[in-house]
Structure 1
């Protein structure tokens, strides 16, 4: 465990500028997603809000999906996302796509929170706080780490293939990169577990308090 902590600390310190960049990129995506809410037409907002009210009504009545099914769906989604980042990191052309995926992830979060707040005010803020924030406290850093590792591996591939710069041999670098992705995938199970087993009850409690 101590060796993992030392490696993580050294990795972050060595690549600090990259992680700052992709963190800012995701933050810009969050702002972009929130701004998009204002570009929706009134009918689009009404349709989305009607769907949300129906969903909230089901959650308040305890009619949400089976927790095991929710965990399976959430974990499957997160693993596919991380796996795609891993695959893209193995290619040269995948570098810009990784950055776009990080931006889009931020935009989705920003849109979700922005829409809830725009339609429900403080009630929407509290709903977003219990339904979006908890699992994303872990999911967002994990995606940033996976994205950063993917970018670093892709950049090393570019250096080796096109710039002919000597760097670490391929297989040790590939093994370390893949190990980071596997570790991130395992940690994603914690976020998925929280989303499946805890978030629905937090949402139900908040909706009971605000009367939705």
Structure 2
């Protein structure tokens, strides 16, 4: 048992050491998306901001009156969306032309997170930051690492395909394909946890912050 654990730790260490440049690149790309999303808030015109604030007002009102979707339905939708994203990234990873699309998906993920947090902070100050923290952070603690790992594995596998097919650097593709697919399948477990947080934990946390944050949002309308 100890030998297996040691071997597993060595495998993980070797993986992160050999792929650290890809991990760094993907992480920086994600952070660039976050920064770009936060900056994008400043270019919204008055009409766009008013529309988003109206949506926030209705959302806060729905939270206060417990009119949001049933948690089971939210869980089903969340896990469905996560599985679609993972499936798309897995397919892109086994195709050479999918490399740029994987990078675009990572950037867009960062952009959405950055825009969401940036808009709430810009409009609602520190209360908006707290609301963004309880509504965005919990599930993304599992989603973002999973997406980064899948992206790196997909990019690495695509690069291996390029070496084998275009540079004639022959190697064994099938074992790497199996390893790639197994790790992606294992990461689905973390996305199940993320979906559970998104459906059950985050709504509860948001309800605790709605009275103060919601009133401040309504004053801006």
The structure 2 residue matched to 1:85, chosen from 83, 86, 89, is 89
Rg comparison, structure with higher value = 2
Cα deviation for residue 4 of structure 1 reads 4.4
Distance 1:190 1:6, change over 3 A: farther
Instruction: Determine helix, strand or coil for the equivalent of 1:164.
Output: coil
The structure 2 residue matched to 1:201, chosen from 200, 204, 221, is 204
Cα deviation for residue 10 of structure 1 reads 2.4
- Runs of 4+ residues deviating >2 angstroms: 1-10, 208-212
Q: Which has the higher helix share?
A: 2
Structure 1 Cα separation of the partners of residues 48 and 19 of structure 2: 42
Asked if 1:99 corresponds to 2:103, the answer is yes
Asked if 1:153 corresponds to 2:151, the answer is no
Asked if 1:124 corresponds to 2:125, the answer is no
Structure 1: 5+ residue runs without aligned partners? Answer: none
Alpha-carbon RMSD across the aligned residues, in angstroms, is 1.4
Instruction: Determine helix, strand or coil for the equivalent of 1:38.
Output: helix
The structure 1 residue matched to 2:187, chosen from 184, 187, 192, is 184
Distance 1:7 1:63, change over 3 A: farther
Distance 1:51 1:211, change over 3 A: closer
Structure 2 Cα separation of the partners of residues 205 and 119 of structure 1: 19
Structure 2 Cα separation of the partners of residues 152 and 104 of structure 1: 20
Structure 1 Cα separation of the partners of residues 208 and 177 of structure 2: 46
1:21-65 per-residue CA deviation (whole Å, 9 max, x = no partner) reads 100000000000111111111100100110111011101222221
Distance 1:48 1:179, change over 3 A: same
Structure 2 Cα separation of the partners of residues 79 and 211 of structure 1: 32
Q: TM-score, normalised by structure 2?
A: 0.91
Structure 2: 5+ residue runs without aligned partners? Answer: 216-221
What is the number of equivalent residue pairs in this alignment? 211
Within 5 A, what are the aligned runs for 1:1-212? Answer: 2=5, 4-167=8-171, 169-210=172-213, 212=215
Query: Conserved in 1, the CA contact under 8 Å of 2:61 and 2:214?
Result: no
Structure 2 Cα separation of the partners of residues 192 and 7 of structure 1: 29
Q: TM-score, normalised by structure 1?
A: 0.95
* Structure 1 equivalent of residue 219 of structure 2: none
